[in-house]
Amino acid sequence: MKTKHSNVKEVPSEDICITCITDYLWKQGKHVHCFNKTEHDVKWVAELLTELHPASTRTKRSAPRRCRRKEYRMLTDNEREDYHRAVNLMKKDTSIWPNRYDGFVIFHSGMSGKSAHRGPNFYGWHRILLIMYEYSLRKLVPGVCLPYWDSTLDSAMSTMPENSIIWSKHFMGNGDGQVQTGPFRRWMNIDGSPLMRNIGSTGQLLTKRTVLNILSKRYNHQICEPSQNVLHSLEGLHDQVHMWIGGKMFDIATSPMDPIFFMHHAFIDCLWEIFRKQQIGYKIDPNKDYPTTGDLLQHPDRPMDNLPPIPGFGKLRNKDGYLSYWTDKFYFYDPPPTCSFPTLDCGSKWLECDTRRKICVSKSNQALSFQYPTFNSFNPWDFYLKRGKRDTYKVLLGKLGEQESPEQSQKSYEKVKLNVPKEVALGSPIQNAFEIDCVQDIRAWAFMAIKVIHLRPQEVKMSAHIIENGKIQDTDMYNESNYRSLKTHIKPGSPAMYDTCMEDNSGAFRINLVSRGLSYNGWYEDYVMVDNRLPISSHVGYIAFKKPGPNDTEPVTAFISASDTCGRMCKPKCLKKGSGSKPTYVSCDGVINATAQSPLMYGETYGDAAGDIWDFSDPMVPVSKENGIFMIFYCDYSDSWPWESCNKS
């Protein structure tokens, strides 16, 4: 149990939730293989592996020079354009079905979903996938190398990371809804759906602190799943970024449909390579440090799934992904961008040095377009309120390809503590794919009203003060501690939140709603806006799940969750059966079992669900009928886990 080894005041509860539900869905959820490999696909991958294997004549004699993998924003304009061109050429190459790019999407599905995730094989299997992808790009555009996307450069921005230059026409294109700008605009996926994203809706990007948590360990078993502490699992942190990007990246099975998948995984591989270099300094052989977990799919000698046998050699084994051969022969990493006195240059026009923290951060799309003042000349404190614990920032220095002793490695970080104000954006409406088991159709979805009861978090301070006898007081008028009738009932605690947590001065605040299919493959996202000024308030939103059919023999099962943008989960409460006109709610786990039998606790359409909670019989004013809502989420910010069973000793 993850919560048993974690403190609610140190680990954001959404971290726990994302890790656990991802683990469950990979291992026990319904897996629908929308597309099967063809003979041509298998032959193509076999040829790639043969050319890349040590026994290959091509590898020995005419393999291209080792690739130098740079951070995406460190590429020259020509290098970046060549990379984009190579990816698009691969998408257009239909010499295999459906095309060479989507061939990699197919090879990331199937059995590899279970054997290449949730365990130590995650790192090695994806390393080989990236090498094959990069090698295929170089065949189309010689000299191209796979860049990596260092998302810590975005999470550390003084503005919202959603405004990063990454999400501009110069790089990945827009991140809100269908991708209609940039080099991959109007891409269509293998399943016929458009490429979509919903950046920032849930999850979080990697931060300097989370990276340091990983690099403070020595052995792979300390950073692999199954991990007792989610902050020490590099794969778990990688999951968070998938959720943050949303769209096809939200479902790890479909995530390679978005080209940013490969650059995100290249950064995970880059961090793993730093980790491996540190192991050498600790006199640990990274070639042999393959952990055993008891999971047969992750066994070191088990053949890798979805990778065909190599003629004259056989199949690669899970532990073969840990060999230094791959980096010695095919690629190495440039270090992440840094800056320090007296040189305050990050080496790229797309990055700037934050002189207060002495770290490089991404430039924003807005700053480039309108030449806004930079962080150093503009004080966002005048307009925005930042909340949250102080973050510890450390900066990677030194070349990653060089061997360092542990002592040198520890010195290659610089520690700076600073509260960083952030610009606030409340986001855009969520673009859902309405996909269930490979089919996109809103008519297959049912909708249910969700009520959110929200307490004001403890750390919130508003600028509307009480005035008594002509004197302004320090406290704000909304604070429950000012009122005897409220403070005895409202006692928020201080559960852990994301490093990047922030709020808007107006009090507007997002609570994200997510449903994930357990008996089907599909998910749905939405949110409600709450008012952080108020000591207590309630709000209604809507969530969707697979519509039950009249002939279904089993109920439709889905897991529903709610969390704020700071990564704090809300507690699910379900309507007690037979509670009558005065509804009674009891703690539940957020799982629903829906059938087509009356009484329905959902609507056939969004309109039905919205209309069901209102009485329009009075022509003068509609009257709320919220008493019939089946599920409530209570955001009480208490110092306990949102799942009741996890709080039992």
Convert the pLDDT of each residue in 151-181 to its tens digit.
999 999 988 899 999 999 999 999 999 999 9
* Residue 412 pLDDT class (50, 70, 90 cuts): very low
Range scoring the smallest mean pLDDT among 139-148, 386-395, 436-445, 623-632: 386-395
pLDDT tens, position by position, 560-590: 999 998 889 999 999 998 777 788 999 999 9
- Would you say residue 342 lies in a domain? no
DSSP reduced 3-state for 510 = strand
pLDDT value at residue 87? 98
The answer to whether 374 and 352 have CB atoms below 8 angstroms apart is yes
pLDDT value at residue 484? 86
Dist. CA 224–CA 236, nearest whole Å: 8
Mean pLDDT of 484-497: 84
Dist. CA 337–CA 74, nearest whole Å: 8
For the chain, what is the radius of gyration of the CA atoms?
25
pLDDT value at residue 387? 33
Dist. CA 214–CA 234, nearest whole Å: 7
pLDDT tens, position by position, 300-321: 999 998 888 887 778 899 999 9
Domain boundary among 312, 334, 356: 334
pLDDT value at residue 560? 97
Nearest C-alpha neighbor of 195 from the set 169, 176, 221, 223:
176
Range scoring the smallest mean pLDDT among 135-139, 184-188, 281-285, 413-417: 413-417
pLDDT value at residue 402? 37
- Would you say residue 618 lies in a domain? yes
Asked whether residue 488 carries a pLDDT value surpassing 80, the answer given is yes
Beta bridge partners of 317: 303
Asked whether residue 372 carries a pLDDT value surpassing 50, the answer given is no
Range scoring the smallest mean pLDDT among 220-234, 315-329, 375-389: 375-389
pLDDT value at residue 373? 42
Place of tokens 């301070």: 461
| Together in a domain, 313 and 455 | no
Range scoring the smallest mean pLDDT among 259-268, 291-300, 329-338: 291-300
| Together in a domain, 329 and 444 | no
Asked whether residue 395 carries a pLDDT value surpassing 50, the answer given is no
Contacts (Cβ under 8 Å, ≥6 apart) of 536 = 453, 454, 455, 456, 480, 486, 490
Dist. CA 189–CA 261, nearest whole Å: 14
pLDDT tens, position by position, 610-632: 999 998 988 889 988 888 899 99
DSSP reduced 3-state for 515 = strand
Contacts (Cβ under 8 Å, ≥6 apart) of 20 = 2
DSSP reduced 3-state for 98 = coil
Asked whether residue 256 carries a pLDDT value surpassing 70, the answer given is yes
Nearest C-alpha neighbor of 640 from the set 632, 631, 649:
649
Mean pLDDT of the chain: 84
* Residue 481 pLDDT class (50, 70, 90 cuts): confident
- Would you say residue 393 lies in a domain? no
Share of the chain above pLDDT 70, in %: 86
Asked whether residue 210 carries a pLDDT value surpassing 70, the answer given is yes
Domain boundary among 311, 334, 357: 334
DSSP reduced 3-state for 550 = coil
Range of the domain at 492: 435-647
Structure tokens at 289: 């440090």
Opening angle at CA 157, ends 156 and 159, nearest 5: 140
The answer to whether 144 and 133 have CB atoms below 8 angstroms apart is no
pLDDT value at residue 68? 97
> Which among 285-294, 342-351, 404-413, 417-426 has the top mean pLDDT?
285-294
* Residue 398 pLDDT class (50, 70, 90 cuts): very low
Total structural domains within the chain? 2
Dist. CA 222–CA 284, nearest whole Å: 14
Mean pLDDT of 265-280: 97
Range scoring the smallest mean pLDDT among 52-61, 155-164, 466-475: 52-61
Dist. CA 55–CA 165, nearest whole Å: 43
**Local structure of residue 568 (DSSP, 8 states):** P
| Together in a domain, 115 and 262 | yes
Dist. CA 511–CA 562, nearest whole Å: 6
Asked whether residue 207 carries a pLDDT value surpassing 50, the answer given is yes
pLDDT value at residue 409? 39
Domain boundary among 299, 334, 369: 334
Q: How many residues make up the chain in this entry?
A: 649
Structure tokens at 480: 């429950």
Range scoring the smallest mean pLDDT among 256-260, 301-305, 472-476, 588-592: 472-476
- Give the DSSP H or E segment for 69: strand 67-69
- Would you say residue 404 lies in a domain? no
Range scoring the smallest mean pLDDT among 207-211, 248-252, 353-357, 496-500: 496-500
What counts of helices (H) and strands (E) characterise the chain? 16, 25
pLDDT value at residue 367? 66
pLDDT value at residue 391? 33
| Together in a domain, 109 and 224 | yes
pLDDT value at residue 58? 52
- Give the DSSP H or E segment for 564: strand 556-564
- Would you say residue 6 lies in a domain? no
pLDDT value at residue 411? 36
| Together in a domain, 327 and 439 | no
- Would you say residue 412 lies in a domain? no
Range scoring the smallest mean pLDDT among 78-87, 220-229, 422-431: 422-431
- Give the DSSP H or E segment for 270: helix 260-281
pLDDT value at residue 232? 87
- Would you say residue 427 lies in a domain? no
> Which among 7-16, 51-60, 441-450 has the top mean pLDDT?
441-450
Asked whether residue 435 carries a pLDDT value surpassing 50, the answer given is yes
| Together in a domain, 328 and 450 | no
Opening angle at CA 484, ends 482 and 489, nearest 5: 105
Range scoring the smallest mean pLDDT among 159-163, 183-187, 298-302, 382-386: 382-386
- Would you say residue 370 lies in a domain? no
| Together in a domain, 603 and 477 | yes
Question: How many CA atoms, within 13 angstroms, populate the side-chain half-sphere of residue 543?
Answer: 31
The answer to whether 175 and 181 have CB atoms below 8 angstroms apart is no
* Residue 197 pLDDT class (50, 70, 90 cuts): very high
pLDDT value at residue 407? 40
Contacts (Cβ under 8 Å, ≥6 apart) of 107 = 37, 41, 45, 129, 306, 307
Range scoring the smallest mean pLDDT among 247-256, 258-267, 599-608: 247-256
CATH of the domain at 219: 1.10.1280.10
DSSP reduced 3-state for 558 = strand
Range scoring the smallest mean pLDDT among 60-74, 354-368, 543-557: 60-74
pLDDT tens, position by position, 501-522: 777 778 888 999 999 999 999 9
pLDDT value at residue 36? 73
